[in-house]
Amino acid sequence: MRERRTSAQGRESRELILQTALEVIGRRGFGSTSLRDIAAEVGMTQAGMLHHFGTKENLLVEVLRQRDAATREALAEQDGDEPPSVRVARRNAETPALVHLYTNLQVAASAPDHPARAFFEERQRSVHAVVAADVRARQEVGGMPAGVDADTAATVLLALSDGLQLQQGVDPSIDIAEILAWTWERLSRAD
């Protein structure tokens, strides 16, 4: 019985750390948040907190996984014809600090041996598949020309989104959702 209780307590601690990290990074910004800040708000030592994740990078990847899961859940509850990538960009605009975390960790993960590399590789495949499926679904109902290659369009839209997120870190006035909506509109009229 003790082992089961310890396991449940470990899961609860892990969830508390992740939720707190999301809140602290969202409030203070990625660049202004240290592990010490998160640990202090959780009421743990840094070592105790890292016991649940192993490394800072693993913790940050799990924060992004949590953000992605919350985004998928929110999108599932929304109706409408607006492309999911545009709706995600609108949602991301509400939490610029988490976008900053994402872009910084993605750049770091471009190193082949970075601990977050596998997360970003899998995320890239998954998101690409969703966007390409959205293009194909629009083609089936006549909302996008059949001549648009769904996989190429998905690659372009993801590259545009990621690039705009980097630019927005320097120029916060960039409206990523509007630029993506404009691009989707142009794709829907392509011949």
Read off the pLDDT of residues 157-166 as tens digits, 9 standing for 90 and up. 999 999 999 9
- Nearest Cα neighbor of 41 from 30, 49, 52 is 49
Q: Pick the more confident residue, 116 or 27.
A: 116
List the CATH code of the domain at 1-54: 1.10.10.60
pLDDT at 5 over 80: no
Question: So what's the pLDDT on residue 6?
Answer: 62
Contact 139, 148 (CB under 8 A): yes
pLDDT at 3 over 80: no
Question: So what's the pLDDT on residue 138?
Answer: 94
Question: Measuring CA to CA, how many Å separate 47 from each of 55, 86, 146?
Answer: 10, 39, 55
Q: What is 62-188's CATH topology?
A: Tetracycline Repressor; domain 2 (1.10.357)
Cα dihedral value 70, 75, 76, 81, nearest 10: -170
**Range with the poorest average pLDDT among 29-33, 54-58, 98-102, 130-134:** 29-33
> Can you read off the two tokens belonging to residue 7?
């396991």
Contact 112, 36 (CB under 8 A): no
Question: So what's the pLDDT on residue 103?
Answer: 93
Categorize the per-residue pLDDT at 78 as very low, low, confident or very high, splitting at 50, 70 and 90.
confident
pLDDT at 79 over 70: yes
Residues 59-80: what's their mean pLDDT? 88
Residues 147-158: what's their mean pLDDT? 96
DSSP three-state, residue 128: helix
Question: So what's the pLDDT on residue 1?
Answer: 46
> Can you read off the two tokens belonging to residue 131?
């966007």
DSSP three-state, residue 144: coil
Question: So what's the pLDDT on residue 109?
Answer: 94
Q: What are the sequence ranges of the domains in the chain?
A: 1-54, 62-188
Q: Pick the more confident residue, 120 or 80.
A: 120
Instruction: Name residue 45's amino acid.
Output: T
Question: So what's the pLDDT on residue 191?
Answer: 64
Categorize the per-residue pLDDT at 25 as very low, low, confident or very high, splitting at 50, 70 and 90.
confident
Contact 85, 154 (CB under 8 A): no
> Can you read off the two tokens belonging to residue 30?
């990625």
Contact 160, 183 (CB under 8 A): yes
pLDDT at 150 over 80: yes
29 Rama sector, left if φ>0, alpha if ψ -120 to 50, beta otherwise: left
